[in-house]
Amino acid sequence: MKNVKYAKCVKCGKIYEATPNLTNCECGGILDIVYDYDYIKANLTKEKLAARPHDMWRYRELLPIEETTEPTPLRVGWSPLYEEPRLAEKLGLKQLWVKDDGQNPTASLKDRASAMAVAKAREAGAKVIACSSTGNAASSLAGNAAAAGLKTYIFVPSRAPKGKVAQLMTFGATVISVQGSYEDTFELSKKAIEKWGWYNRNAAINPYLSEGKKTVSLEIAEQLQWKMPDYLAISVGDGCTIAGTWKGLKDLYAIGFIDKLPRLISCQAEGCCPLNRAIAENKDWHPMEENTLADSIAVGVPRNADKALMAIRESNGIVVNVSDAEIMAAQKLLGMTCGVFGEPAGVTGTAGVKKLCEQGVLGKNDTVVSVVTGNGLKDVANAIKACGEPITIPSDMDLLLKAFADKGIVVE
């Protein structure tokens, strides 16, 4: 890879050659891929980009793949970025965009990391990929791997919503549903991966995956014609996504494509916010219980804490924790105002923005991009809890009139 110098441990600084099957540093630290920005500057221009297909591989000079590596089969990335003037007005912001990353092949941002995993597994000559996941990494890996003809072993906590499990089974993965926490799930996957030598798609072990995730911020920048907002809000669980998002922004800054770095807004659930607590208290992070309906970010022991905390701090970021009720309210608000249906963890970023507006931290001079990280169809049970049930009647106009009257619905 001419664009990549090496991988470097974020903890001890040790340097590794960027081979396709890299895992953690021997000290236990996470590795970071270090690029040759001079090479990239000489080889990538905005004009070149503009002519390319609309998927994540358009940014290949900024990605840790061999020049000969083929794009993966599913069309990942280039999700829509909607400007939302009505929601901006409701919240009291100058300008707001919603990036609907639920519009990906398996309906979450995790497709970006999983497509990268498939690309790197192919480079490594692997035929089997494994991961543990709260659900979305799993279903995206299963889908992207199936399309590429690779086999998958997937470990999910038994709390994973049915939609995600249905995806896994349909994509033909061997699925192990672990009765326990995400941490228990992760540990079992780790042992199995060690035993059988599968290609490892655990995002905090495989340093390439957050490089896939960073394409979300590369896209946001390009979709905004390289004019960056003041803030970028995103939900945080394991920490890989916010770390990747920041990496993408720093890459673009380093090659001169953008001249401003937005501040990150790290949004976690009140019931599980070890990273935000660490920032707020300016201390190390400590494990927490996993008490939130936002299953994708219910991560009590974040596996990528180092990179995530570094990203939030470097960006002079803001942290905000939201209750499950606030998450459900944001889900409904996004649906009603924007026609965007996010899963609970997916809308947690928007819930955080809303809360910061109410607290007066954000206001009428601020421009914000809020990333919705997963589709609400993945977790229908919680959506119905949030939004209620329909009017149910036989086919009869009198009963319809009565139902409207009972519910106080005045027809326009």
Segment 136 to 155, residues that bind a copy of itself, using CB under 8 A: 142-149, 151, 153
Q: Give yes or no for residue 323 binding a copy of itself (CB under 8 A).
A: no
Identity of the residue, 12 or 384, whose beta carbon is nearer to a copy of itself in the bound complex:
384
Angle ∠(239,160,275) on CA atoms, nearest 5: 20
Q: Give yes or no for residue 340 binding a copy of itself (CB under 8 A).
A: yes
Cβ 61 to a copy of itself shortest distance, Å? 22
DSSP string, 298-321: --SS-TTHHHHHHHHHHTT-EEEE
Identity of the residue, 122 or 307, whose beta carbon is nearer to a copy of itself in the bound complex:
122
Beta strands in 240-377 (DSSP E): 263-269, 318-322, 367-372
Q: Give yes or no for residue 106 binding a copy of itself (CB under 8 A).
A: yes
Write out the binding residues for a copy of itself, residues 393-412 only, by CB under 8 A.
393-397, 400, 403, 409, 411-412
Write out the binding residues for a copy of itself, residues 7-66 only, by CB under 8 A.
54
14 contacts 27 by C-beta, under 8 angstroms: yes
Q: Give yes or no for residue 298 binding a copy of itself (CB under 8 A).
A: no
Write down the residue that tokens 């673009």 correspond to: 252
Position among 359, 391, 402, 405 found at the interface with a copy of itself (CB under 8 A): 391
User: Could you tell me the CA-to-CA distances from 407 to 335, 391, 404 in Å, in that order?
Assistant: 21, 9, 5
Q: Give yes or no for residue 74 binding a copy of itself (CB under 8 A).
A: yes
Identity of the residue, 84 or 306, whose beta carbon is nearer to a copy of itself in the bound complex:
84
58 contacts 274 by C-beta, under 8 angstroms: no
Which SS3 state, helix, strand or coil, does residue 25 take?
Answer: coil
Identity of the residue, 143 or 248, whose beta carbon is nearer to a copy of itself in the bound complex:
143
Identity of the residue, 24 or 114, whose beta carbon is nearer to a copy of itself in the bound complex:
114
Cβ 334 to a copy of itself shortest distance, Å? 8
CA distance 31 to 8: 5
Q: Give yes or no for residue 94 binding a copy of itself (CB under 8 A).
A: no
Write out the binding residues for a copy of itself, residues 189-248 only, by CB under 8 A.
191-192, 195-196
Which of 339, 350, 351, 344 minimizes the C-alpha distance to 374?
A: 344
Q: Give yes or no for residue 348 binding a copy of itself (CB under 8 A).
A: no
* Cα dihedral 162, 171, 152, 185 in deg (nearest 10): 0
Cβ 269 to a copy of itself shortest distance, Å? 19
Write out the binding residues for a copy of itself, residues 154-173 only, by CB under 8 A.
156, 158, 162-163, 165-172
Binding-site residue total for a copy of itself (CB under 8 A)? 85
Q: Are strands 263-269 and 318-322 parallel, antiparallel or unpaired?
A: parallel
CA distance 53 to 145: 21
CA distance 69 to 206: 18
Interface stretch with a copy of itself, choices 72-80, 200-208, 269-277, 359-367 (CB under 8 A):
72-80
